């Protein structure tokens, strides 16, 4: 594959989004085991990197396809299968190659990436998955305007519904798993149980990393699938690699923060939260739905908290999830739409 400058820029943009995800979501994967000092940050980040790449390579294609080709209708065949009439005349003007234009891919990626970076620096919890879905929908608006016919509304509604279902599912799972762990632990020796827990926490961290790779590789480089439709495997490796680099280079601070705030839950609680969130995210990855790992983890933490009563649940955390559902995709969509329009008018 000969790479043009435009292709290199797009790959760099995809790498940037992947790096962002890795840096932000390292905490969800390895925060607990680093916080509990089960293994060092370096080893944990290495483990995370390996499993993110495996998850992305083996199962990243489901979400990649949804983000890359499922939200916007960019080919005539796709349009005809969705709507009775043939595509309008301007369809070819919008999507001359039957895919997202390079500038649109670039804007969608950079908008989501910059938005998440900005949110990270201002400590606003946002989801990269939601930002990238917003970013892609935003450039779509920038290209075609508010014309619902160019959007696969069934997929968009499915994605929106899953954003609500994902944390709720993790919450319910974590609630059940934590109860189950409590029942087993009472029948076991405390020291043996703590050894089992430490091994299980490492396993859960690997599973979250795998699920993160399976779900978020699609977010990081899904739009690139428009440019390189034949190289899904290589793109998945690129996305997984970018996320691993992100975890190594910028994941420590967030990991320390989350590790110290989650571990007071206790190891069993952290295990229930991570395992449940990983299962939820993995499930949606298999369905090709981009969901937020952070929100799944927060939902699961709430589930663990609920086992100790309603008063143990922070209203702030629930508000942050609910806020994220609206804020992240809306802001990213607005940002990418305006940026695309601005760039088009300039060049």
Site for another protein in 237-276 (CB under 8 A): 263, 266-269
Does position 38 interact with another protein (CB under 8 A)? The reply is yes
Q: Which of 4, 37, 40, 249 binds another protein (CB under 8 A)?
A: 37
Q: Which of 1, 5, 148, 191 binds another protein (CB under 8 A)?
A: 191
- Helices 102-121/315-346 angle, 10° precision: 140
Q: Is residue 125 within 8 Å of residue 327, measured between CB atoms?
A: no
Kindly state the smallest distance separating residue 271's Cβ from another protein, in Å.
Answer: 12
Q: Cα separations (Å) of 79 from 99, 148, 149, 238, 271?
A: 12, 12, 8, 30, 45
Within 36-127, where are the H helices? Answer: 41-65, 76-82, 91-94, 102-121
Residue of 6, 118, 145, 189 that binds another protein (CB under 8 A): 189
- Distance, in Å, from the CA atom of 207 to the CA atom of 50, rounded to the nearest integer, reads 11
CB of 268 to another protein, least distance (A): 6
Q: How far is the CB of 202 from another protein (least distance, A)?
A: 11
Q: Give the interface segment with another protein, choosing from 10-18, 65-73, 189-197, 226-234 (CB under 8 A).
A: 189-197
Give 212's contacts (C-beta < 8 A, 6+ positions apart): 21, 25, 28, 29, 52, 55, 243, 281, 293
**In the bound complex, what is the minimum distance in angstroms from residue 316's beta carbon to another protein?**
24
Number of residues counted as binding another protein (CB under 8 A): 21
Q: Quick one: 38 or 214, whose CB is closer to another protein?
A: 38
What distances in angstroms separate CA 58 from CA 88, 203, 289, 334, one per listed residue?
Answer: 38, 18, 16, 33
135, 157, 133, 137: which is closest to 146 by C-alpha?
Answer: 137
Per the CB < 8 A criterion, the answer to whether 221 and 235 are in contact is yes
DSSP track, 266-304: -HHHHHHHHHHHHHHHHHHHHTT----HHHHHHHHHHHH
Segment near another protein (CB under 8 A); pick from 34-42, 71-79, 164-172, 312-320 = 34-42
User: 38 vs 247, which CB is nearer to another protein?
Assistant: 38
Closest approach, Cβ 172 to another protein, in A, equals 21
Our CB check for another protein shows the closer of 38 and 64 to be 38
User: CB of residue 310 vs another protein: minimum separation in angstroms?
Assistant: 19
Using the minimum distance from each CB to another protein, give the nearer residue, 257 or 307: 307
Among 13, 27, 34, 36, binds another protein (CB under 8 A): 36
Stretch that binds another protein, among 48-56, 91-99, 112-120, 185-193 (CB under 8 A): 185-193
Give the C-alpha separation, 282 to 286, whole Å: 6
CB of 252 to another protein, least distance (A): 18
126 in contact with another protein (CB under 8 A): no
Q: Least Å distance between CB 33 and another protein?
A: 10
| 198 contributes a contact to another protein by CB under 8 A | yes
Q: Residue 57 has which token pair?
A: 């390579």
Residue choice 42, 83, 179, 195 for contact with another protein (CB under 8 A): 195
Alpha-carbon distance of 70 to 65, in angstroms, equals 6
Of these, 75, 82, 117, 185, which contacts another protein (CB under 8 A)?
185
Q: CA 321 to CA 338: how far, in whole Å?
A: 26
Beta-carbon contacts of residue 89 (< 8 Å; ≥ 6 apart): none
Interface residues toward another protein, by CB under 8 A: 36-38, 182, 185-195, 198, 263, 266-269
């Amino acid at each position: 594959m000969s790479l043009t400058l435009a292709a290199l820029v797009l790959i760099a943009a995809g790498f940037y989004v992947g790096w962002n995800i890795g840096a932000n979501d390292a905490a969800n994967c390895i925060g607990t085991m680093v916080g509990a000092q089960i293994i060092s940050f370096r080893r944990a980040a290495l483990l995370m990197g390996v499993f993110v790449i495996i998850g992305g390579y083996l199962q990243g294609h489901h979400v990649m396809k949804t983000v890359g080709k499922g939200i916007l209708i960019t080919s005539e065949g796709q349009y005809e299968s969705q709507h009775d009439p043939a595509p309008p005349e301007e369809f070819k003007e919008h999507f001359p190659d039957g895919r997202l234009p390079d500038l649109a891919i670039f804007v969608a990626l950079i908008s989501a990436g910059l938005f998440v970076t900005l949110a990270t620096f201002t400590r606003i919890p946002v989801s990269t998955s939601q930002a990238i879905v917003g970013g892609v929908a935003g450039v779509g608006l920038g290209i075609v305007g508010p014309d619902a016919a160019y959007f696969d509304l069934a997929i968009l509604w499915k994605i929106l519904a899953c954003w609500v279902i994902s944390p709720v599912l993790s919450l319910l799972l974590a609630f059940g798993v934590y109860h189950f762990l409590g029942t087993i632990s009472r029948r076991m020796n405390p020291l043996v149980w703590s050894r089992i827990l430490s091994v299980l926490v490492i396993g859960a961290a690997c599973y979250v990393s795998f699920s993160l790779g399976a779900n978020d590789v699609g977010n990081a480089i899904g739009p690139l699938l428009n440019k390189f439709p034949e190289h899904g495997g290589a793109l998945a490796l690129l996305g997984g690699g970018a996320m691993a680099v992100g975890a190594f280079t910028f994941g420590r601070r967030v990991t320390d923060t989350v590790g110290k705030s989650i571990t007071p839950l206790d190891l069993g609680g952290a295990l229930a939260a991570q395992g449940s969130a990983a299962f939820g995210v993995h499930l949606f990855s298999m369905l090709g739905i981009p969901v937020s790992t952070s929100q799944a983890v927060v939902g699961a933490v709430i589930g663990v908290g609920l086992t100790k009563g309603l008063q143990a649940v922070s209203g702030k955390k629930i508000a942050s999830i609910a806020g994220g559902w609206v804020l992240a995709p809306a802001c990213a969509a607005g940002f990418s739409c305006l940026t695309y329009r601005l760039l088009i008018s300039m060049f």
